[in-house]
Amino acid sequence: MVGVEALSSEQLYRAINHFRTLHEKIVREWLDHALIKKEDPFYEEVVKNGNRTLDLLYKYIEKPDISLITDLTKKIAPERIEAKTDISEFVYNINIGRQIVNDKALNSIFPPVEMKWIIMTINHFFDQLLYYAIKEFSSLNDVIIENKNQFIQEMHSDRLTILGQIAASFAHEFRNPLTSIKGFIYLLESELVPNEKTDHYISIINDEMENLQDKISQFLLLSKMKGLDDLIAIFDLSICLHEMIDFMYPRFLEAKINLMAEISPDLKVEGDKNQLKQVILNILNNAVEELCDLPEERIIKVKAYRSSEKIRLEISNNGSQIPAHLLENIFEPFITTKELGTGLGLSVCKQIVEKHNGQILVESNASYTTFSISIPEAIERTSL
């Protein structure tokens, strides 16, 4: 030990022999005070480990060797994890062992110089045992958590893949008859004698058919595959934003919403303009619906700018805070904050943004809920 003169062979033998004579008593006291139940599946191993720990202590007193300790901790840690022992209990039990061994040393008749060396050696041994035990315990727990997370991610990925396949199959099965129905409605409309009542019914049918068509398109987007009809081009997102704001302006007026827009010019991105318009429209629509019942001032903020080779879009509203349990999974299919919503809108938004190599996030607090979108800035290709 640092600062303490080493003991002679005779003194070491006397110290080791002292603890050997108390070996069984130390183990019994430890089992009486440690947080270990007899129902523990490894109880017999725990008793053996207590004996092994004391045997190691004797060897450590004679000649300190860390490898002896690490070998023991590699055995103990997996057993304690399998027995679902909390790490606090794990630490407590080791320290109880330290306390009992120290008590046996202090109640001995060792001379002061020997006593100091023995106590320091005991504490150094248990310090090392505690350090390597926690290190091994934590390392194994990290592996278990990582494996569980990987399993959850794989299950989640498989579920979304299956959902996408079902959605695509469902959408295609409905799209063909829907096209036929729309065609026959058009024929009926052209053959019927126009009157106010008939025109009203035809108008309702057409509106509902359009709604159904939109839902089918949303299901198709859940398949995660780039569609054959995607129109990929470089375009200015700032222009799209202004167009969507103009389109939504009557709704803003009707709902008495104060719109605050801060949109930088020339925000070039590459992708399908109509799909990204759908994302913007969906988020703005959700914001309007959320604010309609708000008694105080209703605010929607739209901010778009360039940062770190990304085009960033933030759409905020001062509606109710989204509950934490919904916020965590809000982009998952069929998760919705609306009483009559399908829960497809935001999952489709996420799908579209990710198809454009982008990212969509949401933050919600008592003041504002903000959807943040980032998409790589497009580089204009110059022809040679």
For position 287, what pLDDT does the model report?
93
Element (H, E) at 343: none
Residue 16 or 257, more confident: 257
Most distant pair of Cα atoms in the chain: their distance: 119
Q: How far apart are CA 136 and CA 140, in angstroms?
A: 6
Q: Which of 72-86, 138-152, 184-198, 216-230 has the lowest mean pLDDT?
A: 216-230
For position 330, what pLDDT does the model report?
83
CB atoms within 10 A of CB 156: 11
- In terms of average pLDDT, the best of 53-57, 75-79, 236-240 is 236-240
SS3 content of the chain, % helix, strand, coil (to 5): 60, 15, 25
- Alpha helical stretches, state H, the chain: 9-21, 23-33, 43-62, 66-82, 87-106, 112-191, 196-221, 237-254, 273-291, 324-327, 345-355
Which residue reads 């840690």 in tokens?
77
Q: How far apart are CA 208 and CA 212, in angstroms?
A: 6
Tens-digit pLDDT profile for residues 3-43: 456 778 888 888 888 888 888 888 888 888 888 777 777 78
Is pLDDT at 59 greater than 90 in this prediction? no
Is pLDDT at 317 greater than 90 in this prediction? yes
Q: How confident is the model at residue 384 (pLDDT cuts 50, 70, 90)?
A: very low
Tens-digit pLDDT profile for residues 160-174: 566 666 666 666 667
Closest by alpha carbon to 244, among 201, 287, 212, 202?
287
For position 236, what pLDDT does the model report?
95
Go through the domains of the chain in sequence order and give each one's CATH number: 9-146 (1.10.490.70), 232-376 (3.30.565.10)
For position 342, what pLDDT does the model report?
42
Global pTM value:
0.48
For position 341, what pLDDT does the model report?
44
Average pLDDT score over residue span 171-183:
74
